Amino acid sequence: MSTLKERNAERLRKSIAGERADGHAVFNFYTYPFFQAATHVNLDEYFHNPKVCFESQLEALEMLDGCGNLVPDVGAVAETSALGGKVRFDEHGFISVAPAEIEELDDVLAIKPGDPYGDNYMRCALETLEYMVQHCPEGYKVNPHAIMGPFTVGAQLRGISDFCADTIAEPELVEAILDLVIETQINFLHAQEKILGEPLHHVLVCDDLSAFLSEKAYQEIILPSYDKLFAEFPHTQRWLHNDSTARHIAPYISKGGMVAWQYHPSITPHDALALTEGKVTLLGGLNPVELAGLTVEQTIEKCNEVIDSFEGNPRCVLAAGGSINQVPIENLRAMFRVADERKI
């Protein structure tokens, strides 16, 4: 008899392939604030000690019947830290990055593509990936580190407001930054392939900031950047995490080669299906802030309500449209249980 983990993984696979499964899958985007909340891990050790990161994740996933995979995790700073971004930590140990000193095109041209093995957080991610591959227990898989969308990395480097304004006033500067970022990310993905020993099955692209652009700019800037990035990875599935207010760019997500989209909770599953014309697997339906405050019984009721709204469409996957950092383990377990019990 298959395990809950196996059944959920197979349902997710079939959904992304556009095939009919016997039920809906659950998808959770696990990141360091969740693992800290679940295991009380020291984040300084989590980011800098592969063994600690591995053990913290495994401990949390075991609480969820193994529903999830191991993944190296240095937050959103991997690429930016290699291109001049200044990594910083807040009072809780959360990691982020401040913009680099970029004022004009010559500043960009002076920056070399980031070295995945240099003194930066791409190297930290690779060291953790290697440790996870070496110590991965039976029944688990190791996913590659998520990447930021090229535009999101560019905005981190230049500053969000300035970079958005640059798309109108300084298009050459934007193009130069994106080319620099994409070359860095290609190197990072190749380095991960080398450690995993096989082509990347899928990569999660986190690109909330791309939704700050107009439909026209999204088509002219974002879509080509995805094509450039994945040109060397033609068999790698592109999964998108964009839980910004992305309704206006939703019709173009499939044109960026994305096969799955984790969307904002303000968008209903019905609207998300209409906006994407059924071409993309949709990960969402639940509001993580609401979910964090519910009892288990209320969570079960809410999950059933959302699954009802899917109307049996296999392209719909039950997920919180954003972070699950503060959602109790018991509520996450209830999500998996409800989805497993409901059949299409």
- Tell me the pairing of strands 86-89 and 95-98: antiparallel
Between 50-63 and 32-39, two packed helices, what is the crossing angle to 10 degrees?
Answer: 70
* Residue 191 one-letter amino acid: A
Side-chain-side CA neighbours of residue 204 (13 Å):
22
Greatest Cα pair distance in the chain: 61
Output the pLDDT for position 321: 84
Neighbouring CB atoms inside 10 A of 91's CB total 5
Indicate yes or no: pTM above 0.75: yes
What 8-state DSSP symbol labels residue 219?
Answer: I
* Number of residues written out for the chain: 344
CA 193, CA 116: separation in Å to the nearest integer?
12
Virtual torsion, Cα 133, 134, 137, 141, nearest 10 deg: 10
The three-class DSSP label of residue 246 is: coil
Q: Are 74 and 145 in contact (CB under 8 A)?
A: yes
Side-chain-side CA neighbours of residue 162 (13 Å):
14
Q: Provide the token pair at 50.
A: 């592969």
Q: Is the dihedral of CA 211, 120, 28, 332 positive or negative?
A: negative
* Residue 242 one-letter amino acid: N
Q: Provide the token pair at 308.
A: 């009802």
* Residue 72 one-letter amino acid: P
**Secondary element (H or E) of residue 310:** helix 296-310
Q: Is the dihedral of CA 101, 102, 106, 112 positive or negative?
A: positive
CA 15, CA 171: separation in Å to the nearest integer?
38
Q: Are 212 and 151 in contact (CB under 8 A)?
A: no
- Tell me the pairing of strands 316-320 and 26-27: parallel
CA 154, CA 169: separation in Å to the nearest integer?
15
Per-residue pLDDT tens, the chain, 344 aa: give them. 699 999 999 999 999 999 999 999 999 999 999 999 999 999 999 999 999 999 999 999 999 999 999 999 999 999 999 999 999 999 999 999 999 999 999 999 999 999 999 999 999 999 999 999 999 999 999 999 999 999 999 999 999 999 999 999 999 999 999 999 999 999 999 999 999 999 999 999 999 999 999 999 999 999 999 999 999 999 999 999 999 989 999 999 999 999 999 999 999 999 999 999 999 999 999 999 999 999 999 999 999 999 999 999 999 999 998 789 999 999 999 999 999 999 98
Neighbouring CB atoms inside 10 A of 18's CB total 13
Output the pLDDT for position 78: 98
- Tell me the pairing of strands 281-286 and 147-148: unpaired
The three-class DSSP label of residue 22 is: coil
CA 285, CA 269: separation in Å to the nearest integer?
6
Q: Are 89 and 186 in contact (CB under 8 A)?
A: no
Neighbouring CB atoms inside 10 A of 171's CB total 12
